[in-house]
Structures are given as structure tokens and as C-alpha cells.
Structure 1
Amino acid sequence: MTVYQRAHLSIQNVIQQVETFPVPLQTELQNQLGSLSSLSLKLNQGIFQIATFGFVSRGKSAVLNALFDEPIFPVGPLNGETQWPRSVRWSPVVAQGLSTLQIELIDTPGLDEIEGQGRAHMAQEIAKAADLILFITAGPPTALELDSLKALRQSGRPLLIVVNKADLYPDLDATGVYERLAEPLQKVLTPEDILLTSAAPAPVEIRVEWPDGRTTHDWETPRANIESLRSTLLQLIQKEGRTLLVLNTLLQVQRVERDIAEHVQTYEAPSGKACIGQYARLKAALIAVCPLLFLDAAIGLLADLLLIGTLVKLYRLPTHRHQVNQLWGQISLSFASLILVEMSTPTLSSWVGHISLGWLPWVGTGLLQGGVSLYGAKRVGQQTQAYLFNGYSWGPLGSSTLIQNIIKQLQPQMVLYRLRQELSDQLT
């Protein structure tokens, strides 16, 4: 089974799980189901999204127009010509490996626009959805632009720096720009990820010699110079496009799964609390009145296992191997604590019995054993909840499981290989 097929099954698996939830909870999760359907459609159609970011007047729209070789996106002398995101399908000369992907270019508003807080938030959402990010500057990046680069890097998406208007900086090269980057950016970027372009070169004065011997001067606008960007994009998509698309889709599915788990947790919180309380009290009562050590141990272990099974049925969330050791560790701790108390209380009762308090020592022993059992059952219940909620995306077809498998298969020559640590951090 290919990673594409596993990603499809992962999305369908989540949708089917939601359909088992109570109707009121399903109603609450309509937005999440819509997101999953959109992600499934994007994966089916092979839509590879490239989003451009940058400050105003850096030439974002001009760069995209140069890629299209026609004025698709609005440009002008005023700052902030792009007021909202706009996407257009890009169909370059089809290269081997690109025929199954549809490339979508997204132009976004400037990150530093006045009264642009809403647009800035929108840009961050686009960054999380994009498969590749282009950060466009006009010459060497400023300190504010470097801060924005760091923020965009947190999305875990591959990023290329496009230095536009390079014709105005004849001494500038990719190495010089790379040396201006902070160490965290240098770890995940190379000079090859910095591309110098001139999407709308400034007019240059030319000398014109006429047949009659006259010499005049005129102004001529050179052709756009974006071949380095075009070739880099096509090579990257050809080599890693499908992997990028699947990985980014799974990262978004992971966000949806975590959101679903939070809704389930909130919706079932009263029932979960009541369930844990009932099992804990029943376990404590039975152990408090039972005089036999082996029977107390069996009751304690059985009660903990029944509590886990009841919570699994209540939350309707899948079981998995992720962090299952923590759950078994809590069960073992609860069991060991009970055994320790059971073994120590006879000695305690015998010592207190010399004071001739009659049945009071046995009551105290029962209360102590019951209290330890009560606390242990509650801890097992809480650990079970954490196991189910935190591990919702870690099932056999869970997004986190599939993302982890992709990370393990990354090769050193891949752009994604440099992002493996950031991607791994998103799994925790």
C-alpha cells in the first residue's frame, strides 16, 4: 500500500469514527468534517499549493506574474495592491513527475500592512495549509523580515527565499544573504534555497545609433529574470512534490484529529468523571471489606482493567500503542501500592492490637487500603483519558503514525530532510 493510499484511508478512518459519536457531538464537529473532506479532495486531485509571503512593495505579485509570463495578479504604484489571498493554477511546461500534480500559486497580502492584523492571521493559516512557502524580499532581508521568516519556519513547511529586484544590487549573491540569516534559519536552509530574481527590472538607458549617423538615448525595460526560481520550483516539485503534498495533508489531518479529541474530551467530561468516580469507589469498598490479600489484588487489577474498558467504550476513541507503556505503568503502580499496603497493614494491626482497641485496628486498616485503592483507580482513569486523547492520531492509520513513517524514510538530499527535527517536534 502506497503512502498516498494510507493517507486517503487515514482521512476516511477519522470520518467513520466521527460517525460513531452521539448526534449532538457530530453536529459540533461539522467544521472538522468539512476540513477533512476538503483535504481528501485536495489529495485526490493532487493540488500542490505554493504560497507567497512578504512585506508590501517587495514584488510578490510581480514574481508570480513573471512565472505566468502574463499579468495575472494586480500590481501598481500603491502599497498593498493585494488586499486578500488569490490563487491561480499554474501550468508550466509539464516535466516528468509533474503530470499527476496540479500547481496552485497563492498571492497573499503584505505581512506589514496597516490595520492588517486580521490579514496577518489569515496569512498564518495559509502558511499552515501550503505545501511550499516563498518568502519574497526586495534586496537583502531586513530585521523585521528575518523575524517573519522565523515565524513562518514554525509551520514546518519547506521555504525558499526569493530576493527580488536583484538587478538593483549587482554585488549581492545568495551566499551573502545566507550569512545574514540567524543560526536557526541556517540549519534548515542552504544558499541553494535563496534565489535572486528580477521580476520587473528597472528600465535601463540604451544608446541608439541611426542609419543617418545620429545617436540618441532611450529607455528599455529588460525581460524578467526568474529562471532560477522557475527551474528550482519545477525540480523540487518533480523530486519531492508528492511527498510534500502527502506530508502536509497529514499534518493538517493531525490538527483536525487533535481538535476532534478536544471536543470529545469536553463533551464526555461529566460522564468520564462520573465513570471514574463510580469504579474508584466500588473498588475501594470491595478492597476495604475483603480480608484476603490475593483476593484484594485480584479485585484491584480487575477493577482497573474494567475501568479502562468502560472509558474506551465511552469515548469511542481507538486504542493504539503510542504511550501505552505509561498506561501500563500507572496500572502497575496502582497494583504495587495496594500490595504494599496489604503486606504492611497486618503488622500495623498487630502492633495496635496490643493496646486492646478491639475491632478499631481492622477498621483503620480497611480505610487505609480503601483510600489507596480509591486514589490508584482515579489515577488509572486519568491516565486512560490522557492515553486516548493524546494518542488519537497514533492509531495504525493515524496521521501521526504516518507522518513518523515518512520522516524515517527521508533522504539527506531532500529538502524535507532538513526539516525532520521540526516535523518530529510536531508529533509530541
Structure 2
Amino acid sequence: MAQSPPDVQSAPRENISASESVTVHQRAHLSIQTVIKQVETFPVLLQTELQNQLGILSGLSLKLNQGIFQIATFGFVSRGKSAVLNALFAEPIFPVGPLNGETQWPRSVRWSPEIAKGLSDLQIELIDTPGLDEIEGQGRAQMAQEIAQAADLILFIIAGPPTALELEALKALRQSGRPLLIVVNKADLYPDLDAARVYERLAVPLQQVLTPQDILLTSAAPAPVEIRVEWPDGRTTNDWETPPANIEPLRSALLQLIQREGRTLLVLNTLLQVQSVERDIAEHVQTYEAQSGKACIGQYARLKAALIAVCPLSFLDVTIGLLADLLLIGTLVKLYRLPTHRHQVNQLWGQILLSLASLVVVEMSTPTLSNWVSHISLGFLPWVGTGLLQAGVSLYGAQRVGKQTQAYLINGYTWSPLGASTLIQDILKQLQPQMVLYRLRQELSAQLE
């Protein structure tokens, strides 16, 4: 069970200092611009295939620069999602009614609470979504996942103790890797319900990333209560009165969370989406250059094998093998147009050394130059056999180096100095225990791997 963080009232402000936060923000923006510029170096046909990815990157850059912090609400029908948002706005912004499923499509509205001190650099956007259990559930499920992936914070609205279906929906939303708060609406109908009891109903994986402080009880539209009215003439009558909405716990928790780590949440979520786009771009490059890459590897591997097969000197074999592998790597880097970095280079040197070591072992197990000369009198059969063995090892080594180079270029694309994975890892190292993101660090680290 996860340890509960300190009370948010006493928690310090975001532990990433203002200067560091600005630096992270700037690096995230540079990361997006770097990817866009790299795509511009690709062949025109490949650039055309990547127009959708470029559009996503442009949108992420705009969101980051404008500081748009998005909060998405999810839940089943008749739980009061729209009512909760209307209570936060203190006016009927989102449609509500006696029929289930009043919200048919996602709708977003900017929220500018007057008490939001210290949030001048962020624009809060609240997103209302259709019920997760409405008709056309498969399409709605896909839509929900897309919205969850884009949101910086998720509010899951329930009405009373969570049902089995709601717990399954919570588990699915957790796959987005976004921070999540549980809002228990209509709490006025359950006077004995508290956050601790709701927390106990959650599965262990959810308990590890949530605490009772992340479960907020509200009454966005309390049910009317019967009251007794005493008249001046002594008569008494009964009437119905609607209590005011009890939304302050949620409002206060949201503003404190955004003030404490809203900027970090925004930057991290943006980078997670950039990372997804980078991986998609790398897969497109791999597919586009598949035939050219295969031909390049085959050409260099055959050339390396042929030269080593006819070369009688061991030290020249090793030199030829080294140069051939380096030329192959350089040609593939130029072909794929993807950046390399120190970690990739170190891994490639390991593959080159492994290829050379295999060749050296073959060289040491075959006759020396003097023995080779003595074998001339016996015919060319021993020499041909030795050459073929060396050629085979060289061919395999070059193919392995080529394939590993392709893999490192594709898989390492997000790990360049300004790559999304690199920046995400830097942010995760700076998280402190009182932050909501701190409880997600292991999950996010696993996504990087």
C-alpha cells in the first residue's frame, strides 16, 4: 500500500525551482522543434506520410507555449460529470438533464477561477466526455483513451461506492500513465461514506498510485431535503429545499495540485506525447528505408567477406573488417537520417568489437602465413577452405553490425540529447515524494524502457 503524502496544505511548492522549470520547458520546446526540422530532411514522399505526426507536434508546441493545462472527466452515465464541472464554474456551462447521456461528444471550456493565485502562466481547460457505458461503446472507448492520453490530469467521477465496472474502467484509464483523482459525487446520499472506505475497494495496483487524499467527496447537485416551516400564525408546513453545492474540496484540491506541480505535469505529459510521435516517425523511417537498408547491409557484408577471403595477412583482415563495419554504420546513419548519441555509439562499438573478435578467433585457429606458404605445394584446397571460413564469419559479423545499427537508430531515436525519453528521464529524477507524479515514477520509467 502506498504511503500517504503530507497534507497538501503544508506541502511545499513545486520542488523543481522556477529556473529549472523554465529550462525544462525550453528543452521540451526545443525537442519538438528538433523533431520537426529532422523530418524536413527526409525524402519528400516520407515527409508526406508524416504530415499527421507533424500536425500533432505543432499542436503540442502550441499547447506548451500557451500553457494549456487540460483536465478530463470520465465516468459512467448519470454520475454527474457535467454537474461537477458546472459546480466548479458556478454556472450551467455543460448540459445536464433527466435523461442519461446528455453529453454526446467531448466538450472543453477554459476555467479561470478567481481564487487561482499563482496560476497566471497556466490556462486551465476542463473537458467533459460522454459516459463510458453509452451506446457505441467500442468507439467511445477509443475516444476515451485518446482524450486520456492528451489530458494532463484525469478526474474519474463516481456516485457512491465504486462498482465492479467502474473499477475496471479505472484500471483501463490508468494505462494512460496520467495522474488521476477520484471524485465521489452525490456524497450527500451516503452520509457514512468516506475516502478511506472508497480507497479500500481499490485494487492494489491502484492503491500504489493513489492515496485517500486523491479521493474527494462532493455534492455537485444535492438532492432536495424536506424542511419544516413555522408560520407567524402558529401553523407548520413541510417544504422542500435544495442545499448549495458542496464542491469546495475538489476546487481546493485542484488548485493546490496545479499550483504545486501543474507546470511539471504539463511539460511531462507533452513529452510523453512527443515520445509517442517520435517512435511513430522512427517506425515510418524503418519501413520506408527497409529495402535500401537491406541492400546496403548485403552489399557491404559481401564486399567485406570477399576482401577478407582473398587477403592472406591476418592483420589486414582485421583492418579490412574494421573499416568495412565503420563504413557500413556511416552509410546506414546517412540513409536513415536519424541522430546518433553517445549511448548508441558505445553499443555499436561493442558490436564492432564482437565482430572483430570472431574474426580474430578464426584467424588464430587457422594456419599462420608460413604454414599457408607450405600448403601451396599441397594445392589450394586448404587455402580455399580457410578463406571460405573467414569469409563466412565476416559476412555474418557485418550483417549483425548492420542489423544492430538499424535497431539502435530506430530504438534510440527518442534518446538523443533533446529526445523525449532523455528529457522525461531528467524530470523523473527531480520528482519529490510529496508530488503526485512521484507515485507514477516507476510506471513512467518502465515505459521508457
TM-score normalised over the length of structure 2: 0.93
Could you tell me which residue of structure 2 aligns to residue 298 of structure 1?
A: 319
Residue identity matched to 2:427: I
Distance 1:324 1:410 in 2: 30
1:272-292 Cα offsets, whole Å, 9 max, x none, are 111000000000000000010
- Of 102, 106, 113 in structure 2, the residue corresponding to residue 81 of structure 1 is 102
- Of 188, 208, 211 in structure 2, the residue corresponding to residue 187 of structure 1 is 208
Q: Are 2:381 and 1:360 aligned?
A: yes
Structure 2 counterparts to residues 24-173 of structure 1, below 5 A: 24-173=45-194
Shift of 1:113: 1.1
Residue identity matched to 1:150: K
For the 8 Å contact 1:55–1:111, the answer to whether it is kept is: yes
Distance 1:321 1:174 in 2: 49
For the 8 Å contact 1:283–1:373, the answer to whether it is kept is: yes
Could you tell me which residue of structure 1 aligns to residue 276 of structure 2?
A: 255
Distance 1:59 1:16 in 2: 45
- Of 391, 399, 408 in structure 1, the residue corresponding to residue 429 of structure 2 is 408
Shift of 1:321: 2.9
Distance 1:346 1:71 in 2: 90
Q: Are 2:319 and 1:286 aligned?
A: no
Distance 1:322 1:174 in 2: 46
- Of 347, 354, 358 in structure 2, the residue corresponding to residue 333 of structure 1 is 354
1:160-180 Cα offsets, whole Å, 9 max, x none, are 000111111110000011111
2:114 partner SS = coil
Shift of 1:120: 1.2
For the 8 Å contact 1:349–1:362, the answer to whether it is kept is: no
CA change 1:348–1:81 in 2 (3 A) is farther
Residue identity matched to 2:227: I
Percent identity reads 88
Q: Are 2:232 and 1:202 aligned?
A: no
Residue identity matched to 1:276: I
For the 8 Å contact 2:119–2:259, the answer to whether it is kept is: yes
For the 8 Å contact 1:321–1:394, the answer to whether it is kept is: no
Distance 2:140 2:170 in 1: 17
Q: Are 2:399 and 1:378 aligned?
A: yes
Q: Are 2:20 and 1:2 aligned?
A: no
2:367 partner SS = helix
Distance 2:105 2:36 in 1: 31
CA change 1:113–1:357 in 2 (3 A) is farther
2:244 partner SS = coil
Distance 1:103 1:322 in 2: 39
Distance 2:96 2:279 in 1: 40
Residue identity matched to 2:47: Q
Could you tell me which residue of structure 2 aligns to residue 320 of structure 1?
A: 341
Q: Are 2:367 and 1:346 aligned?
A: yes
- Of 291, 302, 309 in structure 1, the residue corresponding to residue 330 of structure 2 is 309
For the 8 Å contact 2:154–2:179, the answer to whether it is kept is: yes
C-alpha RMSD of matched pairs (Å): 1.7
Distance 1:289 1:350 in 2: 16
Shift of 1:209: 0.6
Could you tell me which residue of structure 2 aligns to residue 272 of structure 1?
A: 293
Residue identity matched to 1:84: W
For the 8 Å contact 1:97–1:239, the answer to whether it is kept is: no
Distance 1:18 1:354 in 2: 57
Shift of 1:347: 7.2
Shift of 1:375: 0.4
Distance 2:432 2:420 in 1: 21
Query: Mind listing any 5+ residue stretches in structure 2 that lack a counterpart?
Result: 1-21
- Paired residues, number: 427
Distance 2:347 2:100 in 1: 55
Distance 1:336 1:192 in 2: 58
Distance 1:252 1:129 in 2: 7
Query: Mind listing any 5+ residue stretches in structure 1 that lack a counterpart?
Result: none
TM-score normalised over the length of structure 1: 0.97
